[in-house]
Amino acid sequence: MRWASEIAQRTQAQLEQPDIQLKRLASLDSAGPEDLSFLMPGRTPQTQAGALLLRAEDRGDYGGVCLIVDNPYLAFAQASALFDVDWRRQTGIDSSAQVHPSAQIGQGVSIAAGCVVGANVVLQDQVSLGPNTVIQQDCQIGAGSQIAANVTLYHSVRVGLRARIHSGVVLGADGFGFAPDNGRWVKIHQLGGVWVGDDVEIGANTTIDRGALDDTRIESGVKIDNQVMIAHNCVIGQNTAIAACVGMAGSTRIGRNCTIAGAAGFTGHLSVCDNAHVGAMTLVAGDIRHPGAYAGGVQGARPMQDWKRNVARFNQLDQLAKRLIALEKKFTD
């Protein structure tokens, strides 16, 4: 339960009606008289919600408690924190966790059951580790970071302040490096680390490999969704957002404030400038030097018969183009 006035304070909203208690944050459709919801700009407030985050000009005849803001979606995000469950039900180190005596543990740290924390690890204040998470030697995790259950950090991974790292994430596994030697592969041991800045979120089952010699780097403010693969020596610039299932081969450099849509791929050893936006399932196989939107592919679903015909023609495309050119030539002769 939260008071509308608490919400107003958090979202810098102007509270236009008497204060009430709010049970849930809910969508317009499912919100009831005890719930808070939010109204996207220009929409009509048809809802049973007891309170609404909305712009003044969209109020219409809404009869509930108004929380007037400029940006209702941002306010919704800010309010959502107040309704979340606290990951850390307890502080302290569970008796079944195994923490190396050389580890430095800050104030208010929570280490859940079954965790293993290696030698020389530093966990700053208010770090929490979910059950069965493994943090290997020489890692450092910044204050306020929340590491979920069943996460693995290999040795010498550095995570900044206020990170959120979800279950199944693996940071610092070996990059995929082998030198060919008469048909066999000789392993290139991966001697770099992983460096993660502040305010980074990393989704479930994402993997970020350690660098071959230098570090793989995730700059501050980067948000990474689930099942993303970031190979050795990639560098992701500040505040870039990467959707699920994206894969980046080694030494891909992404600029700042980029957005990468789901299942896009990067062939490695290339750079993408700041403010580039890459579409779903697109393959980036060379540098992107100009800000803007990029896409590739013709994977859009079509009825099977149509698709088959077009694919057959695609496989004749060079030949068709030559026939067109020949015809043009004949015609203009």
Q: Strand 201-202 and strand 134-135: pairing?
A: unpaired
For a second copy, give the closer residue by CB, 107 or 186.
186
For a second copy, give the closer residue by CB, 66 or 272.
272
Hey, which residues between 79 and 108 contact a second copy (CB under 8 A)?
Answer: 80-81, 83-85, 89, 94, 96, 98
Question: In whole angstroms, what is the distance from residue 173 CA to residue 193 CA?
Answer: 9
Placement of tokens 């010498």 in the chain: 156
Of 122, 241, 271, 273, the one binding a second copy by CB under 8 A: 241
Note whether 17 and 64 are within 8 A (CB): yes
Q: Which residues pair with 2 in a beta bridge?
A: 22
Our finding on whether 181 is near a second copy (CB under 8 A) is: yes
Note whether 7 and 36 are within 8 A (CB): yes
Question: In whole angstroms, what is the distance from residue 11 CA to residue 64 CA?
Answer: 18
Q: Which residues pair with 262 in a beta bridge?
A: none
Could you tell me the smallest distance in angstroms from the CB atom of residue 190 to a second copy? 8
Token reading at 228: 């993303």
Our finding on whether 7 is near a second copy (CB under 8 A) is: no
For a second copy, give the closer residue by CB, 107 or 311.
311
Hey, which residues between 31 and 60 contact a second copy (CB under 8 A)?
Answer: none
Site size toward a second copy, by CB under 8 A:
134
For a second copy, give the closer residue by CB, 107 or 321.
321
By C-alpha distance, which of 240, 237, 209 is closest to 224?
240
Phi and psi, residue 62, nearest 5°: -60, 130
Could you tell me the smallest distance in angstroms from the CB atom of residue 23 to a second copy? 12
Of 7, 67, 76, 141, the one binding a second copy by CB under 8 A: 76
Give me the catalytic one of 155, 189, 232, 290.
Answer: 232
Note whether 61 and 71 are within 8 A (CB): no
Hey, which residues between 136 and 165 contact a second copy (CB under 8 A)?
Answer: 136-137, 148-150, 152, 154-156, 164
Of 18, 42, 298, 333, the one binding a second copy by CB under 8 A: 298
Our finding on whether 243 is near a second copy (CB under 8 A) is: yes
Could you tell me the smallest distance in angstroms from the CB atom of residue 320 to a second copy? 6
For a second copy, give the closer residue by CB, 107 or 322.
322
Piece of 2-10, 57-65, 103-111, 289-297 that binds a second copy (CB under 8 A): 289-297
Question: In whole angstroms, what is the distance from residue 11 CA to residue 71 CA?
Answer: 10
* Distances, alpha carbon 274 to alpha carbons 230, 246, 319, 320, in Å: 18, 18, 39, 39
Please confirm, yes or no, whether 232 is among the known catalytic residues. Answer: yes
Catalytic (active-site) positions: 232
